[in-house]
Each structure stands twice: as structure tokens, then as C-alpha cells.
Structure 1
């Protein structure tokens, strides 16, 4: 009878150390994202109650799309929150490796990632598949609940202190408020006239279907199906 196979010690080490940490990050990330969903829903209700007193046309809406995604609709904007299903770390040139918090325990360098996108509400309403959204921020949270943000302007420098800020309701609310402000401060601008001079029949037909307009030779060059934010 042959001798029983011996387990590879390196395989065992990687599974019990690295793989186990990743599993823990993923399990806890679901709790953090559920907390974020709850805050987004509460912010939606709170702001809606106040702004409708000024203008009842200013409707806000929260949508829970899936365990890993939710949306906040406000004015002409949509914030889409999406949690990636994988766990990440960073290459050795990334600034997190200079953090005393990470140098103290390298297991703290494994993160779940939550993306925050800004889209135009009409892109969804009229199913404009060519419209582009803007990635406002990437939120990285580890198994200890410590997080930091990479993103546009204030989204990045407000939440830039790994090891000093925890993913709790207060910080999530500030994050959501900041994302809304960033979206509202960036207006939709008219594309350059030269970029809009040539229009395909497909684009015109798509435009007519989306806005329920009759096809005609007179074309409003101020509108273009690929308009995006700066």
C-alpha cells in the first residue's frame, strides 16, 4: 500500500494565511455595503422631504438593484454604488505601503472595492447605451473597517487617511453627501460644434426613438447622443 500523500506546506500556508484573510475581507465587505445602502436610502428620504417643500418637482428615488448595487436618483443625476465581488491589494509602488498602519500588519492591505459612478438620469430613462458615466470614487475598505478613497477632487482628499477613519454611518453619510455635491457642481456642457457636425443616420434614428420626435432634415446640433460630463 502506497504512503499517503503529504500536503505541500507552502500551499497550506497561503490558504490559511492569505486566502483566509481575503475571505474575511469579502464577508465583512457585505456588511459594510449593506450599511452604505441603508445610509443612501436614509439620505434619499431626508433630502426628498426637504427639497419638495421648495419644489415638488425635485423628486429623489432610491433603488436597490442587487446585493452588490444600488442607485440614488436626484434631479438629472444618478449615483450608482457598486461593490466588486473580488478582493484587491496594490502594487508595491502604491502609497499605502508607506503607511505605518500597513507596515505594522501587511494583512491590512487587502481591500474590498466599492465604485461610485455618476450618470445622467436621462441615460437610463431613454436607454441611451452610448452615454458615458463618470467614476467619481473608488472606496477601499479592509477587514478592520478602515478605508480610504481614490477619486475626483474632494472625494479623494477628504477620505485619504488610511488607519484613521472607519467605515461607519457618519463617514458613509459624508461620503454620499460629497458625491452628490460633486455631481451637482459638474454641469452638463454642450459639446464642441465641430465634434457634432457629422451625424449618422443611426444616431438620428436613435435620437428620434429616444425622444419620440419625428425624423426631419432640420437637426438640432446642440444635442448629441454622446454628450458626457467634463
Structure 2
């Protein structure tokens, strides 16, 4: 006689649902605090830069409960809170860590992605201009977190956190993101690639002709684990 799996299904759904709801609450709270920390930092930077150059555009612009923008001169940083809780690929170092092995439900994560665009792309509605993923913040039901990114971001956050996320972490992350965006220069296409255009291209892309693109990068998987 086969055992009825109904109760087992119910327990699995309940346990997963509870963990995912906790992770989502954590990532929503982090998103709001991230926006608050961004505003505090922009206020400080603006006070310092205005003394020497009043034309530098700096602002934090709320868009919705799941999105806000930071304008840094010619850059626009787009912060997006994803409403779905995700898990990483099985071969990801985080999933192979003792931390997840001890409690597999820790693998469920809320995520915030940060994209780097040129501000002019939005101002002039240049729909084909690319943006690049600058950083990704992942948070689980226990409020432990992972940050993916390159250069300083990847160096500062090398593995799963040793403690729950707090405002100090968010302050450091915001500063690193803004610093990296400001240091990420435009690169124009080679001259032979742009010396000939069609009339259609001229009419459709007047504002973007000769414009550069932000340098993009691929996310690096974390190589260290929490023991």
C-alpha cells in the first residue's frame, strides 16, 4: 500500500513559504534602508561638490516600491528590487558551503540588482543604449547576505556574510557602488565603425551619434564559503 504523500507536500510548502516570506521581508527592508543611506550620502557629497562646482547633478529619485535611481553627474544607477525569491545554481559556491548544507532552506534568497546607465540614455530616450549590472545583493531568511560585483565590491564582500545585514554594510556598499560608477569611463567605438551612417540612423539616433558606452563586466562567482 502506497503512503499518501499529501502531508509531506503540505509540510514542504509551508516550510518553503515561511522561509521565502522571511527572505522577502528582509530584502524589502534592506531596499528601503539602501535608498535612505543613498540619500544621506548624496546629501554629503552634494554639499562638498557644490562649493566648487554647482553644475554637477546629484540626486536620489524614487521610482516605485521596487525601484529607485541615483544620479551621479553623467551616470544613472538603477536599483531594482526583485519580487521573486530565487535560489542560485547548485554548483555555486554558496550552495556547496557548510552554511547551506546545515540548513538547505538557507539557499532561498531575495535580490537587489544595481545597473549602471548613462544618464543621457534616459534623458533623451535612447532606447537602444545598454546598461550594465554593477552589483547584486542577495539576502536570505536569516538576513545573511552575499554581494556580487567586480573590483572593490568583489574584494570587500568575498563570501557569505559573517553576521546579519546592517546599515553599516549598506553604507559601505552604497559608497563602493557610487565610487565604481564614477570611475567607470565611457568607451567609444573604433573610428572605422562609426564613420558611415544612414539617413535613418541620423534621424533616429541624433542624440546618441558618437556616444560611448559604459564598460561592462561579467559577474564573478564567489570562491569562498562560510564554514
User: For this structure pair, what is the TM-score category when the shorter chain's length is used for normalisation?
Assistant: 0.7 to 0.9
Gaps of 5+ in 2: 216-227
Aligned twin of 1:168: 166
Contact 1:52 1:59 in 2 (8 A): no
Contact 1:101 1:163 in 2 (8 A): no
> In 2, Cα distance between the equivalents of 1:81 and 1:52?
25
Task: For residues 48-81 of structure 1, give each alpha carbon's deviation from its aligned partner in whole angstroms, at most 9, with x where no partner exists.
Answer: 1111112111231110000011111011111111
Task: Show structure 1 runs of 4+ deviating over 6 A.
Answer: none
Q: How does 1:62-77 map to 2 (within 5 A)?
A: 62-77=60-75
Aligned twin of 2:77: 79
DSSP-derived class of the 1:19 partner: helix
The alignment's TM-score, normalised by the length of structure 1, stands at 0.85
Aligned twin of 1:228: 213
Which of 20, 28, 31 matches 1:30? 28
1:194 is displaced (CA, Å) by 2.1
Deviates more, 1:156-165 or 1:143-152: 156-165
Q: RCO higher in 1 or 2 (8 Å CA, sep ≥ 6)? A: 2
Q: CA RMSD of the aligned region, Å? A: 1.8
Which of 9, 32, 35 matches 1:11? 9
Contact 2:23 2:143 in 1 (8 A): no
DSSP-derived class of the 1:98 partner: coil
Aligned twin of 2:115: 117
Contact 1:26 1:112 in 2 (8 A): yes
Gaps of 5+ in 1: 1-5, 212-222
